[in-house]
Chain A
């Protein structure tokens, strides 16, 4: 049997746990339950009909696939940026470091409009690829780019402190043992960053799935092509179809929760394995 309460010298277990649960309920649980109840109001068959609507499925697929791709790309380049910021000293490093946080602070609509202006067929980058017959804005590629933009700081900021903690000595030890630079990175550095990379991935992914403001400008919002689920929710609301909106939201919620839960399990496993926090 699991012991509920470990004896401890730290006082206030009851008080703090009580407060935590109350606060957590108020801020997170109650709104979510209200959402689920609202969507349940139309009954099973109504729920499935709304959830399995082809346009809804297409929007969900667009949202999750682009978010996964964006998070994956962010992990690669976010790790690289974190590494450069931690390991090298160069002029302007602090400014560069501060700029990483800008996507956090910038109103998402501003980001969305700027990105659209750049990637639209007549924009600075858009007109470079237009002659090749490529389009970035108003396609899932554009959506992915907007998601990369807003997700990057999550990856950099989760990996940076862990990388700072991986002492330079460990890299030096690897070199003295004869490992090449590449071997040091692939066999020593990256494996020890795995838990942080997973966390960064989860955060960037979660942010991207829920993103609305920056994406809708660049997405073009063509149903079945570049329409994201959060936008479809807003469309349903504008149609006064509140239950339809609640159904899409509930499906997103369940999928996101499952994915984040699995990621958390992997993280916990890798943390144990790599001996963090012990």
Chain B
């Protein structure tokens, strides 16, 4: 069995576009627009019908979100950088939605390095702008020669690697989840095919399982054996029923042709790799954005 983990699917290709050459319209761009529309709809819904007193539950949620965003930006950047509240909030919500949209079967735009690199480049431009604003263009260029001119290449590299490391950190975490989920899915599917292939070929095995399960459940119910017997009995019965069914002509084809065991199992790992990593990486990216810009103003 072959497992391949790819990047975004190319939906369309345009040759000889001016300036860009060959342009691939990938899933990243397409789902990026889906994310854009989703977030915009959410914003319009949350921002509608606001009142000063007697607020609805929806408005309480909106106000809580905005307040925590403002507190986050104030905490990391101080009170005088309020113009970055929309940017930080947008990056955060785009990141979270892009990370989690894979849960409903879409390609996650953040599993494409270009998405994070785009955000990081915007942040990089802002960092550079604030550095030049803080110490003048001469002071900014002179900063590369600090402490001695020999350090200039390293300083330039460290400057350029700021957006690259930001982008790669986020991308790598999402990618690792995608890779591990892909491997797990393939492994479980292989196990599923192997199990049902075996069961369909050996009808007696399914019957034995069924009988063993029935005995275990009987022991639990009538002889008062422990809960362990009930669990083992149910598992054996399910396996037995599936085994007998897979040996039947029509249903058997469906069972052996479809990776039944993959239903449900990847949800457990996705809880960590999608939900936890998805939210944490969005938070880290925004924290770095605010802190880097704040540092640039102090240079």
Say whether A associates with B: no
Task: Spell out B's residues near A (CB within 8 Å).
Answer: none
Task: Spell out A's residues near B (CB within 8 Å).
Answer: none
